[in-house]
């Protein structure tokens, strides 16, 4: 199928109520308001398609851009592809989900994440931290630079409260992600989270809340789920 054919399929699936919800999260026109559950059904049919994913993302239609991340062939994504995607990620759902998931599954995840977190563009920086969050959730600890993760935790401690709104939320999630997915750094993450204290983020007209990292990690500990990795960052 072509991107044009997919757009024609997506348009009648739009839901006005869902569209209002995602607009509160920064999504803007063009957007149809297709629920993720409906996008997942299309994903199952399309499976993985590198070129179609690129074409869908380039339409600029939010629903198609989100779908692009679901069907992207992460292993084939070039660094240039990822740079183009992050440059067009204008809202939290795109930078923290679509772009971060695909970047983490690509061969360039660590490199682009480290570059993006230094960006002065808030959504690019947010995508960088979100990519790191995805990486620690899917990569075996033997594939991670634990010393660098520890340095990044210390960086978050020093800079999170001065960071722009968008990356600040995902810096907080970085502390949580390292603490829950990297067992050897769980105690370090808890200590960092305690030093950071509560993190204030303007979540706009949404019901989203910013979790206190030590409490969140503690709940995962009680479930006995510390260190349990995910098969994929995509959901």
Q: For 201-235, how does the pLDDT look when each residue is reduced to its tens digit (9 = 90+)?
A: 998 888 888 999 999 999 999 999 999 999 999 98
- Residue 208: the pLDDT is 86
Residues 114 and 230 in one domain: yes
Structure tokens belonging to residue 153: 């935790």
Domain count, the chain: 2
- Confidence (pTM): 0.96
Q: Residue 32's domain spans which residues?
A: 1-72
Instruction: State pLDDT tens for residues 81-113.
Output: 999 999 999 999 999 999 999 999 999 999 999
Mean of the per-residue pLDDT values for the chain?
97
Q: Look at residue 207 in the predicted model and tell me its pLDDT.
A: 82
Domain boundary among 72, 102, 117: 72
The angle formed by the CA atoms of residues 231, 234 and 235, to the nearest 5 degrees, is: 105
pLDDT at 235: 85
**Domain annotation covers residue 179:** yes
Does 39 map to a domain?
Answer: yes
207 found inside a domain = yes
Tell whether 127 is covered by a domain: yes
104 and 18 in a common domain: no
Q: With a cut of 90, say whether residue 121 has pLDDT above it.
A: yes
Per-residue pLDDT tens over the stretch 166-192: 999 999 999 999 999 999 999 999 999
pLDDT tens column, 33-54? 999 999 999 999 999 999 999 9
Q: Answer whether residue 87 is part of any domain.
A: no
Q: Is 77 part of a structural domain of the chain?
A: no
- Is 155 within the bounds of a domain? yes
95: which DSSP letter?
Answer: I
Q: End of a domain among 16, 41, 72?
A: 72
Is 15 contained in some domain? yes
Residue 57: what pLDDT?
A: 98
Residues 6+ apart with CB under 8 A from 78: 108
Say if residue 43 is in the same domain as residue 121: no
Q: Where are the alpha helices (DSSP H) in the chain?
A: 3-10, 16-23, 36-46, 50-58, 62-71, 79-87, 92-93, 100-105, 109-116, 122-138, 146-159, 165-181, 186-196, 213-223
Instruction: Mark whether 101 and 66 lie in a shared domain.
Output: no
State whether 99 and 57 are in the same domain: no
């Amino acid at each position: 199928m072509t991107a044009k054919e997919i757009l024609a399929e997506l348009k009648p699936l739009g839901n006005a109520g869902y569209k209002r919800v995602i607009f509160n999260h920064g999504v803007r026109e063009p957007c149809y308001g297709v629920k993720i559950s409906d996008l997942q059904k299309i994903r199952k049919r399309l499976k993985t398609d590198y070129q179609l994913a690129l074409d869908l993302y380039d339409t600029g239609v939010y629903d198609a851009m989100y779908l692009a991340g679901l069907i992207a062939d992460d292993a084939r994504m070039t660094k240039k592809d990822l740079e183009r995607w992050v440059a067009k990620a204008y809202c939290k759902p795109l930078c923290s989900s679509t772009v971060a998931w695909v970047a983490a599954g690509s061969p360039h995840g660590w490199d682009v994440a480290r570059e993006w977190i230094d960006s002065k563009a808030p959504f690019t920086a947010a995508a960088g931290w979100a990519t790191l969050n995805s990486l620690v959730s899917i990569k075996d600890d033997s594939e991670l630079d634990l010393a660098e993760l520890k340095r990044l935790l210390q960086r978050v401690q020093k800079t999170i409260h001065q960071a722009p709104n968008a990356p600040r939320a995902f810096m907080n999630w970085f502390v949580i992600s390292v603490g829950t997915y990297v067992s050897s750094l769980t105690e370090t993450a808890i200590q960092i989270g305690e030093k950071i204290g509560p993190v204030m983020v303007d979540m706009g007209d949404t019901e989203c809340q910013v979790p206190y990292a030590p409490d969140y990690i503690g709940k995962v500990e009680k479930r006995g789920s510390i260190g349990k990795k995910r098969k994929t960052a995509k959901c």
